Amino acid sequence: MCGIVGYVGEQAALDVVLDGLRRLEYRGYDSAGVAVVADGALAMTKAAGKLANLEKALSAEPVPSSSTGIGHTRWATHGPPTDRNAHPHLDEAGRVAVIHNGIIENFARLRHELERAGVTFQSDTDTEVVSHLLAAEVAAGAELGDAMRTVCRRLDGAFTLVAVHSEAPDRVVAARRNSPLVVGLGAGENFVASDVSAFIAHTRDALEVADGQVVEITPDTVVLTDFDGAPVPERRFHVDWDAAAAEKDGHDYFMLKEIAEQPKAVADTLLGRIDEAGNLTLDEMRLSDDELREIDKIIILAAGTSYYAGLVAKYAIEHWTRIACEVELASEFRYRDPIVDRGTLVVVISQSGETMDTLMALRYARDQGARVLAICNTNGATIPRESDAVLYTRAGIEVAVASTKAFLTQIVACYLVALYLGQIRGTKWGDEVAGVLRDLAAMPPKVERVLASMEPVRELARSLADATSVLFLGRHVGYPVALEGALKLKEIAYMHAEGFAAGELKHGPIALIEDGVPVFVVVPSPQGRSVLHDKIVSNIQEVRARGARTIVIAEEGDETVEPYADHLIRVPVCPTLLQPLVAVVPLQVFACEMAAVRGFDVDQPRNLAKSVTVE
């Protein structure tokens, strides 16, 4: 969702804020805006559309130099993405500027109350009520921090709020409830932001802000309290990646860079997970082995690509642990009266660790007594913080909205959890666990080999740029891979794309097949389960007989598929459960090239955001 940054220090605030916004733009890009405090007044500029529009506006009409500023990139919720609705929002006297991420649920009532008191609103946003409420508190004599605490107590919903006041130079105040916020700790300067990437070029020392807390920063101080003003203990952390990791590194798009990083991401996720005695270790384990032995059901909850990683993981979890495993969309979970108790292990998967649907599902599961294990890529994010145990995917920062390396590492992390459970519950012997770990360790070079053979896939994408629809088929673990392939194409190439279980084809989707429709088919290894393989070869023939242009992903040496493949994409031989790690790569590359050739913004597709912090 929205990207937020605030700065106080010796540097030119505008430069620091704009640089931070550039790094946060992946969170939302409907509009952008900045405000700085200079000479007892606020200067504000904002513009609809991407950050480039704001930069243009700022060069046409520069703001005065200042050492205190805030900035925002927006993913619109209340009101269309216009200049008027862009953040910051001011009070009537133009003394308070506020930026916001989230939704203020009681804004209509508050707006009505303010309007009755004679306030005129400038925008359609929920945010603007906060500017007016803060201004009223300050006018009544409150300090900005106290004003923020008082106002927060009146707000329902989820929010990160950041405010500056014209008469409080060198001070930025921020608050958080159910929406991300971190503090960057510098020397003679401090930062607040939605995530650490905004200030990583300046400092790698950071401070967590928990739900229900307000933070006030000046160049030399950071004061953290709850909404009632009581001091709260600080939790500092150090960020273990640097600004260079957030750059494109010679690639045209972040997505390409992130696709290329997959071998390393998989290797890093496996790194150091096995202790000297050959036992698996997880990152933050607040669950004992005895508790894990009591588990009689696993429910995986996630959204988007993370959900598809969960669908893949189900096959391994049930096979290796013999524990029943359900996978459910986080946004659906708590509305269906799910059966959850102390014997349920809920595994939440989230790249960002901030997805609101997943967070709410997690909280519901915990309220019902479930133990929760998070698989997450972002240290210190809300989801791992609220879980009983955490396994971090070490994919490194993912900037492109379309998730790639997170998917692979999430599958690997889930497999580690499954092996861990198998190990402590005795459904897998030590040598069997070691065997799978060896197979996993062999995956990075295999993914590398796939990456090195992608030119024909890019050519294929270019030749299909005018297709109106692309279908994806798979069976077993290849089915979620098909779903993920279709999602990638929808997200960034804006094409109609659908993934199906190949066996379900005859029950409806086959009616979609007509002359020339491209159909990707993910073929399982003939060596793993030959029945599965033979069934899907029949499915390829069925669609081809009806005119489909078949694009077959099959392992090296599988000759049976050759007569039925209009295009054949080879992937290295892997154990059945590990094939998704190589089979998804051509689908990612295909979608990326398709988006580029169709002239779309690969990294920042329309209407989407990287981290979705509203339900």
Query: Which residue reads 């913080």 in tokens?
Result: 385
Distance CA 145, CA 213 (A): 11
Task: Walk across the sheet containing 324-329 and list its strands.
Answer: 284-285, 389-392, 371-376, 344-350, 297-302, 324-329
Pairing of strands 344-350, 371-376: parallel
Conformational region of residue 29, where left means phi above 0, alpha means psi within -120 to 50, and beta covers everything else: alpha
Do the Cβ atoms of 37 and 14 come closer than 8 Å?
no
Residue number with CB closer to ligand G6P (525 or 611): 611
Q: What angle do CA 485, 490, 494 make, to 5 degrees?
A: 140
Please tell me whether residue 216 adopts helix, strand or coil conformation: strand
- Closer CB to ligand G6P, 37 or 327, in the complex: 327
Evaluate the omega torsion of the peptide bond into residue 524 and state whether it is cis, within 30 degrees of 0: no
166: which 2 tokens? 């014209």
Cβ–Cβ < 8 Å for 306, 350? yes
Nearer to ligand G6P by Cβ, of 68 and 588: the residue is 588
Residue with tokens 């409830």: 177
Give the separation between CA 291 and CA 572, rounded to whole angstroms.
39
Pairwise CA distance, residues 486 & 481, whole Å: 9
Q: DSSP readout, 474-496? A: E-TTHHHHHHHHHHHHHHHH--E
Of residues 213 and 358, the one with the C-beta less far from ligand G6P: 358
Q: What are the φ/ψ torsions at residue 571 (nearest 5 degrees)?
A: -125, 155
Nearer of residues 225 and 331 to ligand G6P, judged by Cβ = 331
Cα dihedral 606, 611, 613, 615, rounded to 10, equals: 60
Is 592 catalytic? The answer is no
* Nearest alpha-carbon partner for 258 in 158, 400, 363: 400
Q: How far is the CB of 610 from ligand G6P (least distance, A)?
A: 6
Least distance CB 403 / ligand G6P (angstroms): 4
Q: Which residue is nearest to ligand G6P (CB)?
A: 304
Which DSSP string corresponds to 26-81? GG--SEEEEEEEETTEEEEEEEESSHHHHHHHHHHSPPPP-SEEEEEEE--SSS-S
Map tokens 């094939």 to a residue.
579
297 in catalytic set: no
Q: Which residues have CB under 8 Å from 222's CB, separation 6+?
A: 183, 185, 190, 207, 215, 216
Supply the minimum distance, in Å, between the C-beta of residue 304 and ligand G6P: 3
Question: Residue 512 or 608: which CB sits closer to ligand G6P?
Answer: 608
Q: How far is the CB of 30 from ligand G6P (least distance, A)?
A: 14
Task: Identify which of residues 402 and 596 has a Cβ nearer to ligand G6P in the complex.
Answer: 402
C-beta of 15 vs 332, nearer to ligand G6P: 332
Question: Rounded to the nearest whole angstrom, what is the least distance from the CB of residue 399 to ligand G6P in the complex?
Answer: 11
Q: Return the structure tokens found at 306.
A: 């993370």
List of residues contacting ligand G6P (CB under 6 A):
303-306, 350-352, 355, 358, 401-403, 608, 610-612
Quote the least distance from Cβ 357 to ligand G6P, whole Å. 8
From the list 2, 152, 574, 592, the catalytic residue is: 2
Among residues 225 and 611, whose Cβ is nearest to ligand G6P?
A: 611
Contact 130, 155 (CB under 8 A): yes
Shortest reach from residue 352's CB to ligand G6P, in Å:
3
Annotated catalytic residue, options 405, 428, 490, 610: 610
In the bound state with ligand G6P, the residue whose beta carbon lies nearer, of 351 and 387, is: 351
Residues 140, 144, 149, 153, CA torsion sign: positive
Query: In sequence order, what are the residues at sequence separation of 6 or more whose Cβ sits closer than 8 angstroms to the Cβ of residue 244?
Result: none
- Match 């796939």 to its residue by tokens: 450
Distance CA 449, CA 582 (A): 9
Min dist. Cβ of residue 144 to ligand G6P (A): 32
CB of 376 to ligand G6P, least distance (A): 8
Minimum CB distance to ligand G6P, residue 384 (Å): 12
From 476, 541, 546, select the one nearest 511 (Cα to Cα): 546
State the helix-helix crossing angle for 405-425 and 430-441, rounded to 10 degrees: 170
Q: Which residue has the tokens 């109609």?
A: 496
Tokens 């905004």 found at: 198
Smallest gap from Cβ 349 to ligand G6P, in A, equals 7
Q: Are the beta carbons of 126 and 107 closer than 8 angstroms?
A: yes
Percentages helix, strand, coil for the chain (3-state, rounded to 5) are: 40, 25, 40
Nearer CB in complex with ligand G6P: 111/405: 405
Q: Minimum distance between the CB of residue 211 and ligand G6P, rounded to whole angstroms?
A: 18
Which C-beta is closer to ligand G6P: that of 327 or that of 552? 327
Question: Catalytic residue numbers?
Answer: 2, 610
